Amino acid sequence: MDFAHQALVDNVPLTKRDMYYKDVPLFKAQGTVDRLVDDLAVTLGLERADLKIRAASKGLICGTGLTMHLLEGETITINDLEGTLIPTAETIERFELKGDISWILVVEKEAVFQTLCRFQFASHRSLPGPGLIITGKGYPDVATRQLVKTLSDNLPEHIPIIALVDGDAYGLDILSVYKYGSRNLRHENKKLAAKRIEWLGIWASEIADLEVDLDALIPITPHDQKKARWALLPAMSLNNLITKCPHRKELTRMLHTRRKAEIEILSSSSSQRSNSLIHYLAHKICHFIEMSA
């Protein structure tokens, strides 16, 4: 509370990481700070931004045509060759889009994001138009969720917002954070949940069509099995995401085969046709664009 008070008095935002390093022996772990800050905000009926406390940004975005104008006067223009760090919403004055955006792809893993940047996939010739690619590097930070939410609220309905996550309980949990919000920040979910986002893949049921041998998939761990079974319980479904029949079928298939479909299988496969990451994504994105038209 003292750190938050000082940040308000000085009018200088403080990151949770900064707070942790101010007294490491006291907090012992970053998670302690995270929980205390969220508890303080909920108790006071405020958002973290009202306390001048924010999470350090970690999410990345690439593509063409999007410019972010910051309150301090800086202008950030993204490109399709490399990721640009997503600034916190409190520092952004406005967004500016130049040209048409045809799709938004949210990617679970940074490694896959970087691969797509190297291929300049955001403006790839196999797609009907340019797009934006975003990653929260696993479970997304607030800044990444706020950006996806802003795009979801302001872009026309015919522009699909889709997610590429692992076909397991953890991947679906990450998707549910984008779509419905998180339990830790449930008091802020209305301004963070992007209800339009849909699951592009990868689905375990696609593996045969992608010409990937089942033995090439990674065996599930006891943690995978426990989380999947927990998610399939009606009362414990991940923010109701798993109540959707296709999603339940995917998790059930994973438990049956004891293999999980990870995104990397698309880029590591030797297949020259269906297993190409670029070919797979282009095909699926075009499908979603057609469905949204």
Residues taking part in catalysis: 21
- SS3 category, 212: coil
Mapping DSSP onto H, E and C, the string for 190-209 reads: HHCCCCCCEEEECCHHHCCC
The Cα–Cα gap between 156 and 17 comes to 36
The Cα–Cα gap between 249 and 37 comes to 38
Tell me the one-letter amino acid at 102.
S
The Cα–Cα gap between 201 and 203 comes to 5
Residues 59, 143: contact at Cβ < 8 Å? yes
Cα separation of the two ends of the chain: 50
> Residue 197 is encoded by which pair of tokens?
């986002």
Q: For 62, list phi and psi in degrees, rounded to 5.
A: -140, 160
Determine how β-strand 131-135 pairs with β-strand 103-107. parallel
Q: For 52, list phi and psi in degrees, rounded to 5.
A: 60, 30
Which CA distances in Å does 131 have to 42, 98, 101, 123, 160? 36, 12, 5, 7, 10
Tell me the one-letter amino acid at 81.
L
Peptide bond into 202 cis (omega under 30): yes
Give which of 277, 281, 283, 285 is closest to 102, Cα–Cα.
285
The Cα–Cα gap between 43 and 46 comes to 8
